[in-house]
Amino acid sequence: CRPPGRPRLSQVRLSSTGAAAQRAPGGEEADSKVGTRKKTFPEVQAERLEQAQRTVLINCPAKISEKKFLKYLSHHGKINSHYFYESYGTYAVVEFSEKDSIASLQDVTRTPGVEEECAVPFKSRLFTLTLKNPSTQAADQAPVHCHKQSTILVSDLVQKLCSADSVSNQLYTLMDEYQLTEENTKLRFLVCSLIQEIACAYFPECTVKPFGSSVNTFGKLGCDLDMFLDLDEIGRSPTRAKTGPFYMEYQMKRVPSQRIASQRILSVIGDCIDNFGPGCVGVQKILNARCPLVRFSHQPTGFQCDLTTNNRVAMRSSELLYIYGSLDSRVRALVFSVRCWARVHGITSTIPGPWITNFSLTMMALFFLQKRTPPIIPTLDQLKDLADAEDKHVVEGHDCTFASNLNKIKPTENTETLDVLLSDFFEYFGNFAFKKNSINIRKGKEQNKPEPSPLYIQNPFEQALNISKNVNQSQLDRFVALARECAWILQQEDKDNSSLSNSQPWGLAALLLPSVASNCVKGKKRKRVQASERIKSLLDSLKINNANSLVNNGGK
């Protein structure tokens, strides 16, 4: 399925970024601009959280008249947007233009009359809509159009990639297929806002915000939903009055540490989610983790949710990744492809363990892009140098300062294509001195490892921490072996463009085949074969030269 006339790597290397240059950074977020300025991460968050508060989620029959449905709901106010999706039934996400519309809708909504069970009377923005006369109302109705909420199968992806016209465009195709859609992003903010309503019963001023891959521009359809219960507004005291003879302060329960406070809060909120949260199932309290959390599934959306609190550093690292992902379209395309490649070959896993995580892989890709000449993205220290007074953030003694305003960051002059970057990424990490060096995106330079973990990626903010401390030697070895194999495959293709059969997956598609991993095991054998083939051809050429010289010397 190789298209004819695909340029070789060496040719591509000299051309301009092409598709990369044309693509708007930030994918579906590309329209997020204030005038000519791109929105900052906090601006995007605030806007989407507000939008989510005007939104409801309705379980409805698949066969429903969309027109009648919208007419019925618009009795409660103007509808800004809506869409349908499927997850254990059909759901509609409806965004009203005013928050008051929701109260109006709730006023006419009944509590369910369940016969043998008892409903816990917690009213939320999650509803069920049924037809009064299903047999007549649904009979001639076609099912509503549902938006996709998951990625295509890898086998279908491989096929799709084969019809791209360059490795570069294969990476963009993969990103287009995998990235979060506008609808899915809205749904993630909606779930945060539904959980916020539960937490508000105890902490009326709290907010629940998404972080991690849901918002850092590297999220794939189906990724987990990391949520941050933000209680800082409550803790923020007004400045002490200078006049008057008294001070007033709240009496509050005291606990020995912030960690214990977080554990207690999450424990209670976890119980509330478990007992009252509509659609929330499988609630687990994982309070002894380094960062205590409550994990649950939100059934109506299918999201696996991790709720944490007192996790402001992670919020900053999400913003940092958002900045990197928005700066240059090649960043996201490379990260999506590397993450997909790693998942396909079992380098990353959904189960916690000694595997490399997506977050670590992202850091590795960012580091690699900082090391290009000229660099494609700035180092964290350079972003810190661009920071204003309002960008200053120190969280529990950790300096998390960097410029939030994307427009302050000068675009790179690097014009390398993704064809080159993908191949060089594998080459670079296939030969990285992991034994000696650590990866550090703050400096954009390898540094000596401070301790002997097999893979050491310095946490950019909590600088004494290694974000890949969990990775064991054999997992790192697998990564290195696969990276070498993939660098080899891409270089072979580049050298030998015409000899590959047209029916074979090529470029990125070839790297996603299961055979890549099995060839890795045979890697050593291949090197031996290559060496013996080289010696054989050397001998052959010597024989020919010898024969020629015999002829030239008249057979003497």
- Residues interacting with Mg ion, by CB under 5 A? 212-213, 224, 226
> Should residue 358 be labelled a site residue for ligand CTP when binding is judged by CB under 6 A?
yes
> Should residue 314 be labelled a site residue for ligand CTP when binding is judged by CB under 6 A?
yes
**Calpha distance 189→169 (Å, rounded):** 31
Question: What residue spans of 328-466 are helical by DSSP H?
Answer: 329-344, 358-370, 380-385, 418-430
> Should residue 210 be labelled a site residue for ligand CTP when binding is judged by CB under 6 A?
no
> Should residue 301 be labelled a site residue for ligand CTP when binding is judged by CB under 6 A?
no
The residues pairing with 297 across neighbouring beta strands, listed in sequence order, are 281, 304
> Should residue 337 be labelled a site residue for ligand CTP when binding is judged by CB under 6 A?
no
Contact range with ligand CTP by CB under 6 A, out of 40-48, 351-359, 399-407, 423-431: 351-359
**Calpha distance 538→305 (Å, rounded):** 61
> Should residue 224 be labelled a site residue for ligand CTP when binding is judged by CB under 6 A?
yes
User: Contact 296/305 with Cβ under 8 angstroms?
Assistant: yes
The CB-nearest residue to Mg ion is: 212
With the C-alpha atoms ordered 24, 25, 28, 33, is the resulting torsion angle positive or negative?
negative
Length of the chain (residues): 556
Minimum CB separation from ligand CTP for residue 362, in Å?
7
Around 482, how many Cα atoms within 13 Å sit in the side-chain half-sphere?
24
Minimum CB separation from Mg ion for residue 207, in Å?
19
**Calpha distance 140→246 (Å, rounded):** 73
Beta carbon nearer to ligand CTP, 219 or 300: 219
Q: What mask of x and - would describe binding to ligand CTP in positions 384 to 423, judged by CB under 6 A?
A: ----------------------------------------
Minimum CB separation from ligand CTP for residue 118, in Å?
36
Residue 20 interacting entry, from Mg ion, ligand CTP, none, C-beta within 5 to 8 Å by type: none
Terminal-residue alpha carbon distance, the chain: 54
With the C-alpha atoms ordered 179, 181, 184, 186, is the resulting torsion angle positive or negative?
positive
Instruction: Identify the three-state secondary structure at position 74.
Output: helix
Binder of ligand CTP out of 357, 382, 438, 458 (CB under 6 A): 357
Counting residues that bind ligand CTP (by CB under 6 A) gives: 14
Minimum CB separation from ligand CTP for residue 322, in Å?
10
Q: Give CA angle at 103 (102, 107), nearest 5°.
A: 115
Minimum CB separation from ligand CTP for residue 307, in Å?
12
**Calpha distance 226→234 (Å, rounded):** 21
Among residues 499, 378, 505, 496, the alpha carbon closest in space to that of 443 is found at 378
Beta carbon nearer to ligand CTP, 317 or 379: 317
Binder of ligand CTP out of 60, 92, 126, 223 (CB under 6 A): 223
Beta carbon nearer to ligand CTP, 180 or 420: 180
Can you state the angle between helices 258-276 and 182-199, rounded to 10 degrees?
Answer: 100
Residue 270 interacting entry, from Mg ion, ligand CTP, none, C-beta within 5 to 8 Å by type: none
Outline where DSSP puts E strands in 375-463: 394-395, 398-399, 437-438, 447-448
Number of Cβ within a 10 Å radius of residue 106: 14
Beta carbon nearer to ligand CTP, 149 or 423: 149
Q: Which two tokens stand for residue 236?
A: 């923020």
Among residues 359, 341, 368, the alpha carbon closest in space to that of 471 is found at 359
Residue 45 interacting entry, from ligand CTP, Mg ion, none, C-beta within 5 to 8 Å by type: none
Residue 505 interacting entry, from Mg ion, ligand CTP, none, C-beta within 5 to 8 Å by type: none
Residue 357 interacting entry, from Mg ion, ligand CTP, none, C-beta within 5 to 8 Å by type: ligand CTP
User: How do strand 55-60 and strand 126-128 relate by DSSP bridges?
Assistant: parallel
**Calpha distance 337→355 (Å, rounded):** 18
453-472 residues in contact with ligand CTP (CB under 6 A) are 467
Beta carbon nearer to Mg ion, 224 or 399: 224
> Should residue 77 be labelled a site residue for ligand CTP when binding is judged by CB under 6 A?
no
DSSP symbol at 70? H
> Should residue 294 be labelled a site residue for ligand CTP when binding is judged by CB under 6 A?
no
Beta carbon nearer to ligand CTP, 76 or 398: 398
Contact range with ligand CTP by CB under 6 A, out of 23-31, 80-88, 322-330, 352-360: 352-360
CA distances from 347 to 19, 178, 479, 522 (A): 29, 18, 6, 18
The CB-nearest residue to ligand CTP is: 212
Contact range with ligand CTP by CB under 6 A, out of 65-73, 162-170, 222-230, 479-487: 222-230
Beta carbon nearer to Mg ion, 177 or 306: 306
Minimum CB separation from ligand CTP for residue 52, in Å?
19
Contact range with ligand CTP by CB under 6 A, out of 54-62, 312-320, 330-338, 385-393: 312-320
> Should residue 317 be labelled a site residue for ligand CTP when binding is judged by CB under 6 A?
yes
3-state DSSP helix/strand/coil percent for the chain, to nearest 5?
45, 15, 40
Residues that bind ligand CTP (CB under 6 A): 211-213, 216, 223-224, 226, 314, 317-318, 357-359, 467
